[in-house]
Amino acid sequence: MIETVLETVASILIVVGAFFLLVGSFGLAKLPDTMRRLHAPTKATTLGIGSLLIASMVYFAGTAGVLSFHELLITLFLFLTAPVSAHMIAKVHILRNKEKRKTLPETGSAAEWATLSGADVRKTVEAKP
């Protein structure tokens, strides 16, 4: 009885994970610019891979009777590193395309843009007509 419940939970997690992976892949293929393409797979595949790894952990805990922490550690590592890597890719994209901006948007506070601060950036942005 308990094996059937664990198999059902694992199956549901696999379907949920596959759905998120499909949505992330679709977003990567169809979204128009780099920042949107970065957002879709980062969010969706993090949840998709996390669901698949937790499904693996639930299934093998039920069949083998041993709780494996490998999948849990991989999931935690993924949840910690995916946002950081997406942030770094976005920052590189902003810095590489700073010449295309004529004016910087308002920050919403008294502080300047942390990514685009510095005299060389201001001169580049202000020098463009």
One digit per residue, pLDDT tens: the chain, 129 residues? 788 898 999 999 999 999 999 998 898 889 888 888 888 888 888 889 999 999 999 998 888 888 888 888 998 998 899 888 888 888 888 888 766 666 666 777 777 666 666 545 444 445 445
> Environment class of residue 39 by beta-carbon count within 10 Å: exposed (0-12), middle (13-18) or buried (19+)?
middle
- Tell whether 27 is covered by a domain: yes
Q: pLDDT at position 104, please?
A: 64
- Tell whether 117 is covered by a domain: no
Q: pLDDT at position 127, please?
A: 47
- Tell whether 72 is covered by a domain: yes
In angstroms, the CA 24 to CA 47 distance is: 10
- Tell whether 52 is covered by a domain: yes
Q: pLDDT at position 100, please?
A: 65
Q: pLDDT at position 65, please?
A: 81
- Tell whether 91 is covered by a domain: yes
- Tell whether 24 is covered by a domain: yes
Q: Which domain holds residue 21?
A: 1-103
DSSP string, 29-94: HH-SSHHHHHHHHHHHHHHHHHHHHHHHHHHHHHHTS----HHHHHHHHHHHHHHHHHHHHHHHHH
- Tell whether 45 is covered by a domain: yes
Q: Domain total for the chain?
A: 1
Q: pLDDT at position 70, please?
A: 87
How many residues are recorded in the chain? 129
